[in-house]
Structure 1
Amino acid sequence: MADIDLPDDLIELECSAWEQIQAGTLTVDTAFAVQQAVTAFAETAGQPRIDIEMALKKRVRHPEPEAA
């Protein structure tokens, strides 16, 4: 999978959802908002939705360590 240039608003939305998941407070509305945003971006980018979702989760949940 090539690097996908994810928009900041999508990253922020996933970060919010991830924080809620970790706190045990994720709502259906938040999960649905992320799913809608991922789907919309995938359509705009002409990429499979699953590729966008995987890249987004990797970026938010398993970020690359910053170079020293």
Structure 2
Amino acid sequence: MLGIFESLTKAAVGVAVETPLAVAADLVTLGGALNDKSESHTVTALKTVGQNVANATKPDQPSPARVRG
């Protein structure tokens, strides 16, 4: 039960904090063109939010560890 709240909290923080910062990073790096990432910061942030929402609906299945680079 606690896993649901943890995942929902992570999703809310991702939407409120991480996604706007990712959009700003994409503006600065011209959508990721100025760095060596395979996808934009915004796409990565939204995938993380989606994974946290999915974990909230299925808390018994742990998500794979995400490595930040």
Look at both structures and tell me which one has the larger radius of gyration over its CA atoms.
Answer: 2
For the aligned pair, the TM-score class normalised by the smaller chain equals: 0.3 to 0.5
- Give the structure with the larger helix fraction: 1
- TM-score normalised per structure 1: 0.37
